[in-house]
Structure 1
């Protein structure tokens, strides 16, 4: 626990993946900061860049001390600061907020696989930074009218227990479906919100991608996001739930890529992982069978799409190989 024990496999693996994610976010932040026209947004992104860069250096120090080659990750070559603005209307902070959602989940998993004091300290510090920035981003977006709140619901006046397994039934041949509970509404709203941002992201990526296969992959991602939004909206409308999606952002008409195709593909790879976790969460914690089935099918679609992206990255030499055990056979 004193940080002197040799680094173990789980710690090396999670640090390696954290390094990939953090160097990617640093490059994205550098571009967004270069194009920012709002001082408050610039302050949020600049503060995050400084803190993440600090932890990237700490991870590099551990790798050097352990004799581990430092991963390539994402470098200055993966970002073009001279490229025109690709997104507008607060997209930088909207996307930053999504990245922090992903980070919060990753740090929880990574902390569970850490044993050395210095490794746990890194994830502890990153968690604090992420929660702080997530809060700042949420307040910024709400104050600027870019982010909308989930639907308002009737306040419960008493506690009730489920009295019949019919509560699980979503589809009925006679009568209306059981009303959505607040957990289900929250998950559906979150799915709409994140997919709106994802749709804007891949629209911009597709617009400036030069590789035809990569461009088609991003277009397919846009259609997948639209399909999920439609599914979630229909469930809410069928239950007469009033909702309003976030205003999202505006994709400009620029076709000059601000990021390398390697970076854009890895970014979608991370979001696919986030989408799989989200669909699993929605499926497990929904108590209406029809919603569970629909979110499970969405998870299948995301998995197939993610697998296609991995193959494209491998084909183009963009998928850096994680550290692994030596072949002892």
Structure 2
């Protein structure tokens, strides 16, 4: 689901944001510049900038200021990916070597910190204090989510509540903030800010659950990394939680560690796919999507609302 190319009427705005991102990752330090630029050029869906734009469409839309907000949210997302890869000791992202694999953990961590700093610098041009407060709250929650993910690695005793809290902090809150901060920065009415915040949260929860499903159902090529990587790295996702309700699968799953063989993982992935846990996880994702769609029913009609609806409907169909 390549959002940035899918909707032609946003192309001019997205091109301006892309240019801003390229400027922000530019630095005279060659290694830092190369590492940050590599991550930027690896692509991605630019989901968060799209939601900043759409949120801003419900107020007085001005690209000059909104592009900085959009760049800020994308840079925070990029920084979190760098830190994630270090924590997970990931070798591939989107089919290419991670920064930590190419440059080592120290450079990768500083690259993540650099992107965070650039994000705050970009946001400094926005005068609305509420937008800054929401951004600060979101970054704090993302950091807490990172700690929880580390703490819960290979914790096969965690429950559904732990998982939902983790993906809320890992993914949903940043998407929610993108929608809301876009609306705040454009001076949209408070009721629209609230609605967009809810929409982003519900959509973000669904999006992450689908990501966790795709880790088992997509090919290595589609994922840009080996299928089952989340489980192999100790991240217990919703399909795994449901699969572990089966005693036989439970015993197979709890044996997984970072040294588990490719053959064992392939066999386990097939068992999980046959267990019905994928369908159960998809049902939970669909429930969040229904809530997302319901939350925006009272937004004014127009292209922005239509796109929010279209994106939500496409989340459940995505294959990458």
TM-score normalised to structure 1 length = 0.36
Larger radius of gyration: 1
Greater relative CO (CA pairs within 8 A, separation 6+): 1
**TM-score of the pair, normalised by structure 2:** 0.37
